[in-house]
């Protein structure tokens, strides 16, 4: 079954914030490549989004949360998402070093 992928406003803001950081601290070209690549990667969730593992903080939520990892040369960030029927809702983009999310971090 094909799913519709929706990147929530908070997740899109987090993607942009990370790209801006990357541009300021690394390279503008890499930032664009990272951002565009992450968006393309998230779009692949339309096929078999349940193949990715449960999010590490899944036990804190009523609804099932999943996560997938992305990076240019190595995985540095994760997308946290929920599957609602045929909709994949990307809720957050987090650096792997960030603390786990709690219910208060999800709008």
Q: How confident is the model at residue 29 (pLDDT cuts 50, 70, 90)?
A: very high
Contact 45, 33 (CB under 8 A): no
Instruction: Tell me what percent of the residues of the chain surpass a pLDDT of 70.
Output: 98
Domain count, the chain: 1
85/102 Cα distance (integer angstroms)? 23
23/57 Cα distance (integer angstroms)? 30
Q: What is the mean pLDDT of residues 90-99?
A: 95
Q: For the domain that residue 79 is a member of, what is the CATH number?
A: 3.30.2310.20
Please identify which residue in the block is written with the tokens 């692949």: 44
Q: pLDDT of 70-90, one tens digit each?
A: 999 899 999 999 999 999 999
Give the contacts of 94 (CB within 8 A, at least 6 positions apart). Answer: 14, 77, 78, 80, 101
pLDDT of residue 9: 97
Give the helix ranges, DSSP H, for 1-107.
9-25, 28-43
pTM over 0.85: yes
* Domain span holding position 27: 4-105
């Amino acid at each position: 079954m094909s799913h519709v992928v929706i990147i929530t406003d908070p997740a899109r803001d987090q993607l942009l914030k990370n790209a801006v950081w990357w541009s300021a601290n690394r390279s503008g070209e890499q930032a664009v490549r990272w951002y565009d690549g992450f968006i393309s990667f998230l779009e692949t969730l339309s096929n078999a989004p349940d193949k990715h593992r449960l999010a590490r903080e899944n036990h804190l939520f009523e609804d099932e949360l999943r996560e997938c990892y992305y990076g240019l040369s190595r995985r540095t960030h994760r997308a946290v998402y929920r599957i609602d029927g045929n909709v994949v809702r990307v809720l957050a983009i987090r650096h792997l070093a960030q603390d786990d999310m709690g219910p208060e971090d999800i709008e």
